[in-house]
Chains A and B, each alone.
Chain A
Amino acid sequence: MTSRAVFLVLLFLLFAAATLSFPAPPVFDRYHSPAEIESFLKNLARGQAQVTEIVPIAVSAGGKPLSLLYIGPEAGKPRKRLPAVLVAANLEGTAPLASEAALFLARLILKKPECRRDKGWYVLALGNPDAAANFFARPLLADARNERPHNDDMDDREDEDGPEDLDGNGIITAMRVKDPEGEWVSLEGEPRLMKKAEAAKGEKGVYKLYSEGLDNDNDGRINEDGRGGVNVGINFPHLFRFFSAEGGRWAGSESASLGLMRFVTLHPEIAMTVTFGASNFCLVPPKGGRKGEADFSKIKIPQQIGAFMGVDTDKTYTMDEIMEIARGVAPPGFEFSESMVAGFLGLGQAVNPLPEDLKYFKVLSDQYKEFLKKGKLDAPRLETPDARDGSFELWSYYHLGVPAFSMDFWTLPEVKKEEKAAPGITPEQLEAMSNEEFVALGEEKITALLKSSGAPEDFKAAMVIDALKGGMMDTKKMAEMMRRMPKPKDSSGGDENERAMLAFSDKELGGRGFIPWKAFRHPTLGEVEIGGFVPFAENTPPAAMIENLLQGQVPWVLELADKLPRLRIAKVTSEALGGGVFRLKAWVENAGYLPFPTAMGDRNKRPAPAVITLEGGELAMIDGLKRTALKEIGGGQTRRLDWIIRGHGGQKVRMALAHRSGWDDGKTIILGESK
C-alpha cells in the first residue's frame, strides 16, 4: 500500500475516533477494523433490539471475539422455527471487502423488513479477526494465518522469523538481489515485473527473490517463520488438506472454525449459506472434474469382503444391488444404510458437485450476470479463484447439503488485449452452441479459438471437428475443458494477474499499488532492491469504490434468499371408500425455486427431513404412516402422498407439515369431504 493507503488508514483512524462520540449511521467509504466491525454490529443491534441478537460463537486464537448478528422475527428465541440464511464473511481474513459486504448486508436487511418478515439471517461479518487485523496494522502484510503460534521451520523456536519493513514505508513488499544462483529476470518491456528465467530459451537468471526482511534467527533463511498460525478459511472438513503450511492440524482444529461448525450444527433452521470471500459460486458454479469420485452405479467389491458376501469381485454392482446382497448375508434385524455399506466398502465421498445441483447453479449464474448489468458491474474482470479445499463454502455444499453460494465482489479489471482472439468465444457461449453451430464456424476460427484458449499445439481444429461430428466430443465437454485450461501466458512469459495489477495500479491508483524497486543495503544480503506489489492491492479496491460495488452486488443475496424451497400442502382430498374407510390424498408443493433438499443433501442425508403427520381422534392407519418423511421435491414441483385410514365421516384430521429448515404448514380435513 502506498501513501494513499496510509492516508486512508489515518482517515479511518480519525473516523474511528469520531464514531466513539457520534454513533452516526456507518458509511461504506472506508474499511472497518475487527474492533470496529464488532462495534458496528453492536450498534446495529442496539438500534433495532427487537429484531436482532448478537450470538458469540468463538474467541479467536489471538483472543478476538467472533460474533454472529441474528436479524429476524425470532430474535432472542433460543429455538428458531423459521428458516435462516447464514452469511459468513472473510474467513481467510485477507478479504477486507468481504467484511464490508457483510456489514452492508446487515444494514440492508435491517432497512428492509420484507426480507426478514418470515425468515432469519445470521451474519458473521468477520471469521478470521486475527488475520484481518493485518490490513489495519503497520507494516502492511497480507497473511491469512491466525495467532496460533506455529513452528513453520521446525527449529527450536516458534514464530521467530517474520518480515521487517526495512525501507520504512510501512509496507512489506519484496527484495530482489543479484545472485549467481538467481532464477529470476526482469520482464522484457516491463522491468518492474519479474519472471523465472527459462533455460530452454537460453535465458539466465539474475535475481533471487525474497520477501522484505531479515534472517532473525540466523539460520540462513529469511522470513521463514512469521507470526501464526492457521488460515481459518481452509480449516473445514471437505477436502481438508493435512500437513499443509497453513491449513491447521485437522479440520476444526481452530476455535473459529470449530465454533462455526458447532453453531451451524445446533441450528438446523439454517437453510442456505452464503460465503463472502474469494470464490464466487454466483458467477462460477463449484468446480467439477475432480478424480476420486465413487460412482454408485458401478461399485467394485474388494476381494476379502466379496468372499463373504458371495459376489463376483470382477463385476461391478449398483448400490441397490449391494444393499440387497448385504441384507441377505447379515443377521436378521440388522439395520443397514447406504452410508454404512459405502463406509464399509471404502467408497469415499462426493468430490464433484452433483449434476442435478449444477443445473441450479448455472441458471442462477446467468441470472446473476443480468443482475450485475443493472449496477453496471459486468465489465470483464479477472477470474475469481476456485473455492479452496477445506473452505467453508465447500463444507456447506458437500457436508451440510444446503444450497451454498459464495461471492467475492471484486477482482482486478481485465487488461484489454490489443488483439482479441479471433472468435472470442467464452466457455458459456460455447456451451450454448450446438455441435453443428460450432463446426459451422470453420477451421480457421476454431484454430484461433484453440490457440487463444491455450490448447496444446497438436490439438488441431480438424481433429476437433471430426470428434464433434463423430460424437466423441460435444460443445459442453469442450467448454468444461476450456474452463480448466491454464490461462495462456503472454509471449513475454509474464503473469496475467501481475500485468492486470500493474495496469490497475498505474491507471487507477496513480501507481500506488506497486512500489518501484529501490536500492537498499541489507545487513546480510548486501546490495538489494526493495519493491513490488503492495499487499491487498490485488483484491481490495480503493475505499471510494466500496459503496458502489456493494450496492450493485450484495442485494443479490436477498434474491437468493427468496429462492429458498417453500413446502406447503397445496391440496388435500378425502374420499369415503365405505365401511368407515377413507382414502386421503395430499399434494405437497415446493412453491420455492430451489429443491429440498439439494441433490447433495439427499446424498449425505444431513438436512433434517420434512415430515407430514396425521393427527385427530382415533385414527387407524390401513395404508401409510401417521408420520411420513417427504422425499426430495424440486422447486415448483408437487408430490402426492396417499393414506387409507379408518375413521368416521365428519371426523377432523389434522395434517401437519414440519420442515425444520423451512416453513411449517398444516391443513385440517374433515373425513368424507373433499377440500
Chain B
Amino acid sequence: MKRSSAFILIALLGALALPGPVQAGTALRVPLSFDYYYTYEMVVEAMRLLHRAYPRLTHLDLVGNSEEGRPVYCLTVNNPQTGAELDKPGIYVDGNIHGNEIQAAEVALYLLDSLLGSYGRNEEITRLVDSRCFYVVPVVNADGRHHFFADANTPSDNRGLRVPRDDDRDGLVDEDFPDDLDGDGNICQMRKRDPFGKYKSDPDDPRLMVRVKPGEKGEWTLLGDEGLDNDGDGRVNEDAEGYLDGNRNWGFDWMPDYVENGAGDYPFSGAITAALAAFIEKRPNICMGWTFHNSGGMYLRGPSQKAQGEYPRQDVAVYDYLGRQAERITPGYRYMISWKELYPTYGDSMEWLVMTQGAYGFVGELFQQKSERFASRQESAAGGPGATETAEGEGFDFRPDRSLDKERIRFNDHLAQGELFKPWREFDHPHYGRIEIGGWVKMSSRLPAPFMLKDLVHRNASAVIFSAKNTPEVELEVFEIKALGDGLTRVRTRLANARAIPSMSYQAQKSKLHPKDTLTLDGAGLRVIAGGEIEDIHLHKVAYKEHRPELQFLVVPGFGKVEHEFLVAGSGELTVSYRSRHAGKRSRTLTLK
C-alpha cells in the first residue's frame, strides 16, 4: 500500500472511532489513552495514577502554584536502585507554558506513560530509565489550560499567565474579554454583509472567504473575534486575560514589556515561572531540556537573539546531530534557529535553561495544519485540492495559511465530521446589528484532531528519547600503570563518552556557568608529583597542571575521550574518582606496587 492511501485508511479508521470530548471525572487508567485531550484536572489525575502505578520509579513533586492557586506538578522518573537522581544525567521536559497549546502536555504524558510502561519490557527503555533521570512537567500554565477547556475561546486565547494587565491603558484591567455570543463554547469570528467589504465568499466553498480583487464587489466585512464592547470604550475584546507571557518572563536576556510584549514587570514576576526556575536550579544534573508548544512543526534551538552571536561550534554540532534526527523522527517538522528562522524573543525559558543552567535545549512546536490531509493520489501530486502554493512555513501565528483552508475544511467535513469549523449563523449583535458568527473553533487550527494525536505524541516523545539517549555516558578507565623506578608510577586514565552530548556544554564553559568535571587521585601514602591532560600520547605531550596536580578539571566531549597522565610517588591503594554535574560519578581503585 502506498503511504498516502495507508494514511487515509488510518485516518478513516480513526474517524470512525472519533470519540466525543471526554468529560472530567471519566475514569482514567494506566496505560493512558491518547485519543482525546486531557483537561488540567485530568492531567494531574493522570500523573497521580502514573505515580501510583510505578511508585518505585517515580515521585510527584509540587513545583509551585499558579496565580489562581492551581498546583503545578513535576513527575520525576528515576530508578533509585541504580543511583541517586543527581548522579545521573537529567532530562527536563515541560509543556503547555502557553495555556492554549495543550497537546504539549499530552506529549509529556505520553513520554511518561511509555517510559514507565515499557520499563522492564523493552530493553532500550529499561536501560535508559536505569541510567537517566527524567523531570517532566506536563502543564506549566495550569490556569491557562484550565480556562482553555472551561471557557469559550479561540484556538489562541488563554496563552498567558493570569496576571492582570491593563492592555488598553484605560485604568481598568482585563475588563473586555471576548464573549461567547451564541453560547456554543467557542469564540469564533464575526462577519457582516457589506458590499464595500474587503472579502467575498470563496466560489469553491462559501464558508471560506477570499479577498476581493481591485474593482470587484465585496460581500463581507470581517469584525474579528466574537464579542462585545464590554466597557463601552468603542473597542471590542481589547483587554482580555493578562497579558503576561510565561515564555517571555524568564531571567536570561529579559526585556521589559514595551520591548517584548508580555514580558511582565520584571524577570520571574509570574508565580509559576519563578517557582519552576527555582525547581530546575535545584536539579543541576539537567543537561537536556525540551519545552513543547504549538504550532508549525518546528524543532527550535537558540540563540533567541541575533545579538547573542551563534552558540559555540561544538554545541552547534550537538544541536545539528539531535535536530536533524528529530526531523527524521517527525517528517515534515523542521529544525531551525529561533531568532533567525522564526522570530527573536527575549526572556524565553529555553534560552534561560541553556544560558544560565548550561543545558542543551529544544523548543518543539507541535502540529502542522498541512497534516490535515484530504486528497486523492492525483490531488496530492498536484499539492492538494485548491492548492495554489506549497504550504511551507506557518511560522507566524498571525499569518493563517489560507492556501490550506480548502483542504482543511474538507478534512473537517469528512474526517472530523464537522467538529472543527462552525458554519456561519446569523446573530443580532448589539453594536453591529445583523451579523454572522462562524469559523474555526477553539479545538481546531493549532491542535491535531484527536485521531491524529497519538502519532504526534509518539513521534515527539521519540525525539525526546533520542536526545535522552545522547546525554553523556562516561566510562572511566585506567589504561596504563607503569612503574618508572624510584617508587614512581605513571598512571594514565581515560574518560570516554559514548554519546553526543559532552559532559559540560561549551556555552557553559565559555560563560563559566559552573565548574568543570573533576578527576581526583587519592591514596594514603601516595603523592601525585605531576599530572595533566594528555594532548598527544604518541609525542608525549601533556599539559601538566602546576598546582594541585592530583585534582584535574576537565570536560569529556561528545563521542570522544579525554586522557590524563599522573606521576605518582609511593605505593598502596590509589582511588581515581571522576565527578560531573551532568555525567554522574565514576571511580576505580587500583594498587600501586
Contact = CB atoms under 8 A, between A and B. Distances in A.
Interface string B255-298: 11111110001111100000000000000000000000000000
B306 A220 contact: no
Nearest to A340: B261
Contacts of A609: 166, 169-171
Given A154-B514, A156-B518, A658-B171, A342 B356 contact: no
Contacts of A15: none
A262 B231 contact: no
B252 A343 contact: no
B466 interface: no
B309 to A, nearest CB: 13
A625 B255 CA distance: 33
Contact of B266 (A265, A308, A611, A621): A265
A348 B255 contact: yes
Nearest to A333: B224
Interface string A332-346: 111101111011101
Contacts of B234: 625
A330 B346 CA distance: 22
A151 B581 CA distance: 14
Nearest to B235: A335
Interface in B326-375: 339, 341, 343-344, 346, 352, 355-356
Contacts of A217: 548
B398 interface: yes
A155 B225 CA distance: 57
Contact of B257 (A155, A219, A250, A604): A604
A640 B567 CA distance: 86
B237 A625 contact: no
Contacts of B514: 151, 154
B44 to A, nearest CB: 28
Contacts of B236: 333
* Interface of chain A, main secondary structure: loop
Chain B CB within 10 Å — which of A250, A338, A603, A606 has the most?
A250
Interface in A322-358: 329-335, 337-340, 342-344, 346-349
A334 B257 contact: no
A21 interface: no
A346 B344 contact: yes
Interface in A244-264: 249-253, 258, 261-262
Nearest to B172: A627
A218 B346 CA distance: 42
B184 interface: no
A668 to B, nearest CB: 20
B546 A220 contact: yes
A432 interface: no
A346 B346 CA distance: 9
Contact of A265 (B269, B346, B547): B269
Contact of B515 (A155, A258, A399): A155
Contact of A347 (B167, B233, B259, B268): B259
A627 B170 contact: yes
Given A154-B515, A258-B268, A330 B398 contact: yes
Contact of A218 (B223, B238, B547): B547
Contacts of B344: 346
Contacts of B400: 331
B251 interface: yes
B60 interface: no
Given A250-B356, A626-B232, A237 B256 contact: yes
B36 interface: no
B305 interface: yes
A262 B269 contact: yes
A399 B256 contact: yes
Interface in B412-448: none
Nearest to A395: B266
B492 interface: no
A243 interface: yes
A621 to B, nearest CB: 8
B553 interface: yes
A459 interface: no
B254 interface: yes
B200 interface: no
A627 B231 contact: yes
A349 B256 contact: yes
A582 B261 CA distance: 40
B256 to A, nearest CB: 5
B120 to A, nearest CB: 38
B515 A237 contact: no
A664 to B, nearest CB: 12
Given A242-B511, A251-B251, A625 B232 contact: yes
B399 interface: yes
A558 interface: no
B98 interface: no
Interface in B535-566: 546-548, 551, 553
Interface in A222-277: 237, 240, 242-243, 249-253, 258, 261-262, 265
A151 B260 contact: no
B267 A237 contact: yes
A518 interface: no
Contact of B346 (A334, A335, A343, A399): A343
B251 A249 contact: yes
B316 interface: no
Contacts of B515: 151, 154-156
A250 B254 contact: yes
A348 B269 CA distance: 20
A481 interface: no
Interface string A654-675: 0000101000000000000000
A340 B251 CA distance: 20
A334 B252 contact: no
A281 B222 CA distance: 52
Contacts of A332: 222-224
A608 B171 contact: yes
B40 to A, nearest CB: 26
A604 B258 contact: yes
B298 to A, nearest CB: 14
Given A308-B399, A343-B346, A250 B222 contact: no
B396 interface: yes
Nearest to B352: A250
Interface string B496-533: 00000000000000011011101000000000000000
Contacts of A331: 222, 224, 398, 400
A253 B251 contact: yes
A608 B166 CA distance: 8
A606 B256 contact: yes
B324 to A, nearest CB: 22
Interface string B204-246: 0000000000000000001111000001111011100000000
Nearest to B237: A333
B265 A335 contact: no
A625 B234 CA distance: 8
A309 to B, nearest CB: 10
A265 B265 contact: yes
A629 interface: yes
A390 to B, nearest CB: 12
Interface of A: 151, 154-156, 217-220, 237, 240, 242-243, 249-253, 258, 261-262, 265, 304-305, 308, 329-335, 337-340, 342-344, 346-349, 398-399, 603-606, 608-609, 611, 621, 625-627, 629, 658, 660
Given A258-B266, A348-B259, 20 more contacts: A151-B515, A154-B516, A156-B551, A218-B548, A220-B546, A237-B256, A240-B254, A243-B511, A250-B356, A308-B396, A333-B223, A333-B224, A337-B167, A340-B261, A343-B255, A346-B343, A347-B259, A605-B257, A606-B258, A627-B171
19 contacts: A151-B514, A154-B512, A154-B516, A156-B551, A219-B547, A219-B548, A237-B266, A250-B267, A250-B352, A252-B267, A261-B266, A331-B224, A334-B224, A335-B237, A343-B259, A347-B259, A609-B166, A609-B169, A658-B171
Which A-B residue pairs are the 5 nearest by beta carbons?
Answer: A333-B224, A250-B251, A611-B171, A332-B222, A604-B258
